[in-house]
Amino acid sequence: MGEVFLARTASGRALAVKTVHRELSQDADFAQRFDREIRTSDRVRCAWTVSVVDFSPPGASPQWLATEYVPAPSLGDWVRRQGPLEAAAASRLGWELSTALVSVRAAGVVHRDIKPANVLLGAERPFLIDFGIARTVRDPRHTRTGTVIGTPGFLAPEQATCSVAGAAADVFSLAAVLVYAATGRSPFLAADEELDLPALLYRIVHDEPRLDGVHEALLPLVRECLAKDPEQRPSAADVAARLAGGQEDGWGAVVPPRLVAEAGRREAELRQLLTASRPPAHTPGTHEPTPTPTPTPTPVPEPAPHLPPYPADGTTPSSPAPSSNAKALLRSRGAGAAAGAVVVAAAVALAVALPGRGDADGAAPHGSSAGALPAAWTGTWAGTGPGTPDANGISRARTGAFAVTVTLNGGAVGELVGRQVSDVKEVATGLNLGCTEALQLRQIRGNNAVFEAVTSHPTDPAAVFDCPRGNLYVLTMAEADRLTPESEGAQSAGAPAALTRRP
């Protein structure tokens, strides 16, 4: 669907800001459903969920959502790194999440994408996140016939067969998550087994779950929750009631001590990041710096990478988290409505000092040569990436070879220094989905440079789609005659991994 950024408000409150891929935001039907579902999600208010703080106004592109940020690992990350939970911790997790589902049901909401990645193991309790998002994208009442709703490995049978899924589907997925917590795998995969999607969906619909390794105390309840018939499953309230006994000690007393320590470490790291990113105090008589536009998604409909076989845990690989050594955050426009002037910020690994501001002490960026693009950068650079011929062609374009040419001239920070031309053709139609952008130098620091696309239009003059402005590109010259795009920039899947100098 998009990307998630660590952000902060002007007062220093940490937020998770989720941006939607631009091509989805430009779909009128999707935009209306996303707007409706965000307001539905805002109705879910309980101790086990994160609150919606703010969201994009109707018609905005790209669309975004800001929620509370929890500095904690997901269940998926924790089990992959540390192994399954002990019986007491798994039972407590089941009680906490089923109690959360009682509140979700009371609000009239169905999650429909409960999975290890959407369960955060906080210091005081677990949290269930990402309400309504999967439902918005893949609701069978609004999308194409034959679309699978949810995450493979944790789907209910009615989701796997593209039927409308109700609250009972959440109970099934909760049980699948508890199997994962206890064993490190989906209930429909053996240890270290890999299956393609059709085979996995067939097992969910027709085969009995694999429950070897599930703790004896949980086994009968989990088996009932994994019934193929939704009518045969207990409700979330029934699950919570059956797991309520023996929960007097609390979450912190039953989870691994390493988890409590990890949550504390993340909280301390978050405080440091928020302190380091705090904007300087405004002095009367001075002018506030002009906010910088949010880095937008890629200038072309971003193709989806080829889907690999699903690993034994039934999840899909998640995007890497922002590097923790960020020294500064890109400041953005204020977001209004519910939170007042929320300052959205995308955390990046490169310490980005915005043009005209320099470092915190007012000095020019180190190695900037008075903010000019070094002569070694000037010239024409080109590269070709594989594109994404294996994309689904629905939420991501299926494309062939992805060619990029960047021409750089001399210039100082804040000046136009060149342009970028991308050529990438859609397999089905042959249309060129590339964009041509004028590049402004935003920063030069050592062997890193940041460029902003201040103008953008389709490379094909006959094309009718719009190219977004404001994309940021971070390039590194690790060796002579070779530029490497960094993940912090607005790079597209299937694009070149490097650009080399043309003679």
User: Known catalytic residues?
Assistant: 113
243: burial class by Cβ within 10 Å (0-12, 13-18, 19+)? buried
Task: Identify the CA nearest to 6 among candidates 296, 402, 326.
Answer: 326
Alpha-carbon gap, residue 132 to 109, rounded angstroms: 8
Question: 313 vs 94, 316, 366, CA distance in Å?
Answer: 18, 9, 46
Tokens coding 481: 């005659």
Alpha-carbon gap, residue 413 to 356, rounded angstroms: 8
Q: 426 φ, ψ to 5°?
A: -70, 130
Q: 274 φ, ψ to 5°?
A: -65, -40
Q: 362 φ, ψ to 5°?
A: 90, -5
Tokens coding 452: 């902003």
> What angle is formed at CA 257 by the lines to CA 92 and CA 173, rounded to 5 degrees?
35
Alpha-carbon gap, residue 384 to 341, rounded angstroms: 42
Can you state the angle between helices 236-243 and 167-183, rounded to 10 degrees?
Answer: 40
The 8-class DSSP code of residue 378 comes to -
